[in-house]
Amino acid sequence: MKKIVVLLTLVVCTLVLIQPNVASRSSNDEGVGQQNVTDATGTVKEIYFAGGCFWGTEHLFQQVRGVTATAVGYANGKSRNPDYKTVSRGNSGFAETVKVVYDPSIVSLALLIDLYFESVDPSSLNKQGNDIGSQYRTGIYYTDKADAVLIQEKIKALAATIDKPVVIEQKALENFYTAEDYHQDYLNKNPGGYCHISPGLFKKAREVNSKKP
């Protein structure tokens, strides 16, 4: 009887030890390189925008019909699992970034980029609104190489309309770590919170891709 009990105990312990290793990747470490995601409605895509404080940038894209999910986080830095305190020092390499998941059958990447351009000063290096530091730099980071051409074309067209150099980064996403819970949906939870984006642009985002009557 003792042998049976010991054997069962060993089996249970082995299963417990094995199970966590099935999903050993950090919960903050997003699937970098994933080109699209399938949800209940079909195929959706993702794009990442760095535009100063991520609170306002996330709120902007949450207004757009066809955007199915958003998350704020830290992108393209030097370490694993950074926190806000680390990123705030300005030497981590990370940029405050918003992951935007969207349905391309409803809203185009071109439209999302156009709204993003209106939300930033494209010639301001490491500064948006009252926020200063490399963590507040501007950038568009893609996971689908096919998006790179459009992003380059849009930035080139933007550069032709202003008399200063455009400093928006355009590159593949290297890494992305979801920020702390209190940063997620921040302006929905704190309507009076700080935001460098004009309220009028939020209104435009709600209307620009609204359903036709």
Q: Catalytic amino acids?
A: 53
CA–CA distance, 86 with 24 (Å, rounded to integer): 23
Residue 67 structure tokens: 């955007």
